[in-house]
Amino acid sequence: MKKSILLLAISLALGVAPQAFAQHGAHNPTNVAPVADVSFTLRTQIADGKLVFIGDAGTINGQVNPELRVAEGKVVQITLVNGDGALHDISVPDFGAKSDQVSGKGAATTIVFRVNKAGEFEYFCTLPGHKAAGMVGKLVVGDVKQAASTAADISQDPHAVGKTVGNRAAQNLSIDLTTHEVEGKLSDGSTYRYWTFDNKVPGPFLRIRQGDTVKVNLSNAPDSVNIHSIDFHAVTGPGGGAAVTQVAPGQSKSFTFKALNPGLYVYHCATPMVAHHISNGMYGMILVEPAGGLPKVDREFYVMQGELYTAQKHGTKGLQEFSLDKLLDEKPEHLTFNGSMDALTKTYKMEANTGETVRIFFGVGGPNLTSSFHVIGEVFDRVYNLASLTSPPLTNVQTTLVPPGGAAMVEFKVDHPGRYILVDHALSRLEKGLVGFLYVNGEDKEQVFKSETPMDPNSGH
């Protein structure tokens, strides 16, 4: 086996992205000898005029192009033995694994890689014409049919807005966050391998007071395969904390900051490739309340917009795989409020009563698209533009722009019952999942809205 292929195979087996090596030069992949969890041996053969792989040992012995079944997360080794003397190789492109070529009867080669995603994948011989001639089989990772129903619900509860600071003085606090990589439900029937803070997208809404001194403890779960970190836009200091929180799986790091500026701020993972980590779900918000706290309202909600870039088209069933090309082209397949397609339409029900004042903490994790945030059927009475809580708010606003890595605080009194619809008014995005409902309960107020046509309470538009 060629050395470069061995290195590639080992780095893949460890699940470490090449940029992680570049970033953290202390790692030396040649010192690591991966141990395979599952091994298969395949022999090339000409059978009935076709080229095939034949299982050469164990449960697949004698099978033509055997289905290779493994559990997700395992390190898989496939040894290819040349049985017919022609030139062959074996490749599993979904995991970046490709052997060198074997020529001459009895020659052998091996690939080792980690299967870090569930689904059905192909292995095949890359020599021109060989796949078409029959040298192709299936690698099944995990129980594909079960994947959607057993996946975790990663969507964040919009009611989880923390405790208002009220009149308290500045104090010392500590915040614990843990990064997890978890297969989560994207929609009914589809899943995605999210990277999260505390298993939710967005991560927890953190609520502190201006002048507080905060110790942040960031842990990375032992079963993670990536380094993670945290950059708070509320922090004054190197990388907003990211410079000192590049945390390897199973490790923890801490830093302490003083909240100098009140405001509503985004936080996110800042480990290369940062756009990838953010897109996968690693963003949230921290509210730094001014002294004396925010004015009291009746309802508060936490909503964040995000983008997922997958190889599969929006609407495809099963596990969706990340697409680097689409990320770099800024062409997401899915857009979410609070992490999944149904978070604010089915999973959680946002409600208010007529006469109440609603406040929405709205942020864009992104990583790329600016939101034209709008609530269909409502006018924002107050918009704290760009989430500046110390400038006077704009009044009577229909739609507000919120950039990636930015936020807005909006407030409005709900005057009439019905279902009001949260959108990005770039409405093609609604077709890719970006929608939420706010149900307003109460008596009809004919002086506000009157119709000859009876209302369907489930219609917002």
CB 271, min distance to Cu ion, A: 5
Outline where DSSP puts E strands in 161-320: 172-187, 190-197, 206-209, 213-220, 231-232, 252-258, 263-268, 283-289, 299-308, 318-320
For residues 45 and 220, which CB has a smaller minimum distance to Cu ion in the complex?
Answer: 220
CB 277, min distance to Cu ion, A: 3
Strand partners of residue 288: 208, 263
CA atoms within 13 A on the CB side of 334: 30
CB 410, min distance to Cu ion, A: 29
The residue number with the shortest CB distance to Cu ion is 269
Indicate the helix (H) or strand (E) that contains 334: strand 334-337
Indicate the helix (H) or strand (E) that contains 291: none
For residues 277 and 382, which CB has a smaller minimum distance to Cu ion in the complex?
Answer: 277
For residues 209 and 277, which CB has a smaller minimum distance to Cu ion in the complex?
Answer: 277
For residues 82 and 271, which CB has a smaller minimum distance to Cu ion in the complex?
Answer: 271
**Cα 441 to the chain's mean position, in Å?**
34
Q: 291-316: string of b/e by CB count within 10 Å (b at 16+)?
A: eeebeeeebbbbbbbbbbbbebebee
CB 95, min distance to Cu ion, A: 21
For residues 92 and 282, which CB has a smaller minimum distance to Cu ion in the complex?
Answer: 282
Q: Do the Cβ atoms of 270 and 217 come closer than 8 Å?
A: no
Q: 78-109: string of b/e by CB count within 10 Å (b at 16+)?
A: bbbbbbeebebbbbbebbebbbebbeeeebeb
CB 220, min distance to Cu ion, A: 8
CB 304, min distance to Cu ion, A: 16
CB 284, min distance to Cu ion, A: 12
d(CA 146, CA 136): 25
CB 432, min distance to Cu ion, A: 23
CB 255, min distance to Cu ion, A: 16
d(CA 80, CA 46): 15
For residues 234 and 269, which CB has a smaller minimum distance to Cu ion in the complex?
Answer: 269
CB 386, min distance to Cu ion, A: 25
Tell me which amino acid residue 260 is: L
Q: Do the Cβ atoms of 310 and 334 come closer than 8 Å?
A: yes
For residues 77 and 156, which CB has a smaller minimum distance to Cu ion in the complex?
Answer: 156
| Cα distance from N-terminal residue to C-terminal residue, the chain | 63
For residues 239 and 377, which CB has a smaller minimum distance to Cu ion in the complex?
Answer: 239
Name the token pair of 152: 């975790």
For residues 277 and 299, which CB has a smaller minimum distance to Cu ion in the complex?
Answer: 277
For residues 155 and 226, which CB has a smaller minimum distance to Cu ion in the complex?
Answer: 226
Q: Footprint of Cu ion on this chain (CB under 5 A)?
A: 228, 269, 271, 277, 282
| Three-state SS at 406 | strand
**ω into residue 238 within 30 of 0, thus cis?**
no
Spatial strand order in the sheet of 371-376: 350-353, 436-441, 418-424, 371-376, 399-402
Distances (CA, A) of 279 to 12, 172, 305, 311: 21, 32, 10, 14
Q: Do the Cβ atoms of 268 and 277 come closer than 8 Å?
A: yes
